[in-house]
Structure 1
Amino acid sequence: MNEKASLRARAEIDLAALRANVRELRARAGGAQLMAVVKSDAYGHGAVPCARAALEAGATWLGTATPQEALALRAAGLGGRVMCWLWTPGGPWREAVEADIDVSVSGLWALREVVAAAAEAGRTARIHLKADTGLGRNGCQPADWPELVSEARAAEASGAVRVTGLWSHFACADEPGHPSIAAQLTVFRDMVAYAEKAGVEPEVRHIANSPATLTLPESHFDLVRTGIAMYGISPSPEIGTPADFGLRPVMTLAASVALVKQVPAGHGISYGHHYTTPAETTLALVPLGYADGIPRHASGRGPVLVAGRVRTVAGRVAMDQFVVDLEGDRTEPGAEAVLFGPGDRGEPTAEDWAVAADTIAYEIVTRIGTRVPRVHVGE
């Protein structure tokens, strides 16, 4: 039995495609540097292999949400610039400072904790001051910016920190033309200008995420942060497919068919019998379920390529498995069932599953669970 068939399921990660995507995004970024965002285990693709591939393709920064994610990259031997931005009080500030990680500061409490950590570590911390330009999430409000900048400058003067970045995040960059985009850019420019007038000399100013990298060249500044686009998924399906942006999906999710059997007409399938067979038919059991990240919300709608055709999940997705009605077609246990991939073989895409589950493709790839091994190819 071949290696693919011996696995219950697998998420095949095409690192050659990822490198090509990074090169395409770098070209679209003009002269700006590129941060490869590898938070949440690289959107489910495997943080360390994807980070290495991105650096090989010319990314100059790595980005994570949590400090634990950033520290894991360092523990794996990854050098270069790493930034993390989602902190809570009492976080591992000292460990991050000692690991040469750039940390984000959105408020005075965070600045004071990183200053204390720098003193404990006996070295200067690198910080990015985050501005809330209109997303209303993390970041410092314009009204509080003067106080944060003033205290950051005082910390710089003491040698505790170096302000290496000024940054923000868009709310609606995936909706080109949305009035908030221009408004946020104006606020960002004003807040950057204020900080620089106060003496801050950042290495990088950055606000562009994946959709802004692809559609808003005026937002590129010194650095763009690409997450979902790096993995070959369009951040805005309404305005373009991955191919339209020169990108290729990196993840293919497949499983080995666990059972094939004949059943009579009127046979109930899975919990609740929300599907009953309309005629005598053949069923295939696919050993993936919501514990593996398959959306239960896509029950009766999720598409699967099996036995040469795209089928639909029959009945409810269960914790570990779901059923496909082959409508009389035949296949064998061990045959491949492809849930999504680039689409080259007629298989569904992550976007198709997003439509079926009424969500976004970001969630489809990110939620694939740890029971599904990542098989990295193209290294």
Structure 2
Amino acid sequence: MVVAVKKPKTFQVVFSDPNKAFYCSGDKVSGNVVLEVLQPCRMSRLRLEAAGCARVHHAKGKQGQQEVEYLKYEEELQLGELARDSDGCFLLQPGNTYHFLFGFELPPPGRLVSSFKGKFGYVRYYIRAVMEAPSQNALQCEREFEVEEPLDVNTPDLLAPAAGSKQKKVTIMFIPDGQVSISAQIDRKGFCEGEEISINAKFENSCSRIVVPKAAIVAKHTYQANGRIKVLRQKLSAVRGNHIISGMCDMWQGKTIRVPKLKPSLVGCDIIKVDYALMLYLHIPGSDKLILELPLVIGTIPFSGFGSRTNSMSSQAESLSSPSASWASFPSAPPSYSNIHRDLRVDSMPLLDDYDGEEEEEGLFMRAPEHHYPPPPAYSEVN
């Protein structure tokens, strides 16, 4: 006796390459739908659907939800030499494992965005197999797949340096208390996971408080639905410098911070954005931080090293021709010894102790030990 289809023993989507981590625009997605039944049953047709969309849900109701479609594909799978009954339905027999092949190409570059999953939204791609039978609800199974669009950090825009400066006046009970400032530069904007960002920065403190310079990589997730925007910020990794007392400064020359494991920047999506920045800031006791942010783009194709010298030379030329160029854009001549601040420190240990002028014998300069050499030997002239 042949009955209507019930829950199959096996009903799943299997990809041709199960070890493939992700797909890109233009790739072919292929595999088969595997089907096993526990008893003889009928099936009218087997459909395959592929879909991908971005969805935001940061608030209840329609105003806080929005969806954008990026992939839509559908085909009816060929069922081969399966036997049919008098009604034209395909007959499935227990003890057999059926494999139904499928394959399709993803849209060309510029049509897809990378997969993403966040607190208030996601970009999701999946394949769904739909099994239809007469006089019964269709059965279906789903299998997600990842899409990662390539993002090359070797483009001219991402190889260009990023620089900026910022200052802030500090007050105590509405009374002016000097100011603090930050000037910073990084060699390029584009980085990949595991690479190190080299920071050149100058922190100045002319207020009465002791401030602490710090830097961090921050991520900013922006969710937009029907004009309403939700923004989340997260600090991912951080480094810090030495305390800066009043009237002093601290210099970072090539201080590094490593890019942790994280998702690449999400570009091209209409309702979700994932941006990164290098945040440099001064912690000021009793006052808000002074914050300077330099843009970062996290890519998938790492820095190759080619073009870096050309980029460096061009940036130096620009700094020479631009009167408003940043102090860190081009190396300056070494300062006079008389102009060197006594508070300069390296990251791991201070320089020689500050010389306060009170102890002449044990100050900044060390006395060399005195040695008494014996007189030269006697000599006489020989004719």
- Whether TM exceeds 0.5 here: the answer is no
Determine which structure has greater relative contact order: mean sequence separation of CA pairs < 8 Å that are 6+ residues apart, divided by chain length: 1
Larger Rg: 2
Relative to its length, the structure with more strand (as a share) is 2
Quickly name the TM-score band, shorter chain normalised.
Answer: under 0.3
TM-score by length of structure 2 reads 0.23
